[in-house]
Amino acid sequence: MSHPATLRRVTAIAATAITAVALSVPAAQGAPPEETLRSEAPRDLKIGSAVWGQNELLDYDRKNPTEFQRILAAEFNSITPENDMKWAEIHPEPGVYDFSGADAVVAFAQANNQEVRGHTLLWHSQNPQWVIDASASWTCQEARDVLEEHVRTIVGRYAGEIYEWDVANEIFQDDWDNGGVRLRTEANPFLKACAEDPVALIGDVFRWAHEADPEALLFLNDYNAEGINTKTDAYYALAQELLADGVPVHGMGAQGHLSLQYGFDTSIQANFERFAALGLKVAVTEADVRMPLGDDGEPTAEQIALQAERFDAMLQACINVAACTSYTVWGFDDARSWVPGVFPEGYATIMTEEFEKKPSYSALLESLRDATPGKSPRTPPGLNTLNR
């Protein structure tokens, strides 16, 4: 459901920003620093993007960055490894770890005064073949041992370098036939092995992560978790149970993968507020807004304006709730978006393949500019040279 004032504003933005200049235009000598998402963000809010370090950051040279790398540094003060910390990438064989992609993400962040959100420790998808094969005969204790070793190794390696972790990701399965949701005790190999008491295992994953890095904030995270619905009711009840048991769970993440084929749940702020009332942080962790495209592959003006409205609505909910720590887009340009490969839709990010800023970007920038209190530190010297 659209808010008329917001719709008018993003429609106006769409009219002026649809022909935005490419980000590679050099700055005029002596020009004032360009506003960026990170420079306009409130000091207590991280603005992030996902990035695949293995693909985009292994060749990083701060003195000669690629255009993508320059934009990533200029626009965001937080980055999330899109794939580099998932099991299949970082733990491809028993006892074998490949830290190259994750290390590249952390090194890039440190070079550019950014922070890192870790993603993810317990998930049913993108597990390596050895986990899939071995889990068929695991006892619960065997599953626990494998998972504990993995969590302590990964979190311990990056202790002090990651400010938030998506610890348990998508642990609830939508169960439309039965009118609700259920824990993924079939698809998740670890929960399946411990199906008699999966909540105990989930709690221990948080405990292991906390022991490995006591400073990191530890999150539950899921899609379709923006507004108040059956799934977030289940997470709310789970969070209460975990907290009552002394589990160090610190936050609830709403991924924010939206499609214009469906409506927008305007209860997102109310949902954030109820988790905040439990003493938890909240975050938008993977925002994008995809849409069906016509035969020409181009969105309509209406779609462009509605996309901007929805990106902005998620940000507004975050800004309006003091417990919201971060707002992360799941990649910032269409060329690297996961959407076309997974959904028959597109145009899901805030920049085009040529790094032109969409109205969605402009809507976010305006809301960050208007937010209080204060501004985040500007981009490190020499990096903010884009689109002057």
Domain boundary assignment for the chain: 4-370
Return the CATH architecture of domain 4-370.
Answer: Alpha-Beta Barrel (3.20)
pLDDT tens-digit map of 178-204: 778 999 999 999 999 999 999 999 999
Residue 11 reports pLDDT greater than 70? no
* Proportion of the chain above pLDDT 70, given as a percent: 87
pLDDT band at 37 (very low <50, low <70, confident <90, very high): very high
Predicted confidence band at 170 (pLDDT cuts at 50, 70, 90)? very high
Annotated active-site residue 186? The verdict is no
Q: Which of 286, 309, 356, 366 is catalytic?
A: 286
Three-state DSSP state, 253: strand
Type and span of the H or E element at 183:
strand 180-183
Give the burial class of 346: count Cβ atoms within 10 A of its Cβ; 0-12 exposed, 13-18 middle, 19 or more buried: middle
Name the pLDDT band for 174 (thresholds 50, 70, 90): confident
Distance (Å, whole) CA 127 – CA 89 = 8
Alpha carbons within 13 angstroms on the beta-carbon side of residue 95 total 0
Kindly give the residue spans of alpha helices, DSSP state H, lying in the chain.
Answer: 4-17, 37-40, 53-56, 67-75, 87-90, 100-111, 129-134, 140-157, 189-193, 198-212, 230-244, 268-277, 301-320, 339-342, 359-370
Q: Give the whole-angstrom CA distance, residue 7 versus residue 15.
A: 12
286 catalytic? Reply is yes
Selected residue with higher pLDDT from 19 and 261: 261
Partners of residue 290 on adjacent β-strands = 259
Q: Phi and psi at residue 217, in whole multiples of 5°?
A: -85, 135
Q: With CA atoms as reference, report the closest residue to 362 among 49, 23, 37.
A: 37
pTM given for the model: 0.89
Residue 10, pLDDT above cutoff 60: no
| Residue 335 DSSP class | G
Q: What is the pLDDT of residue 242?
A: 98
User: Which structure tokens are listed for 360?
Assistant: 């969605």
For the segment 44-51, the average pLDDT, to the nearest whole number, is: 97
Catalytic residue of the set 56, 82, 161, 170: 170
**Contact at 8 Å (CB) between 45 and 371?**
yes
Structure tokens at 233: 């009711």
Task: Kindly tell me if the per-residue pLDDT of 84 is higher than 50.
Answer: yes
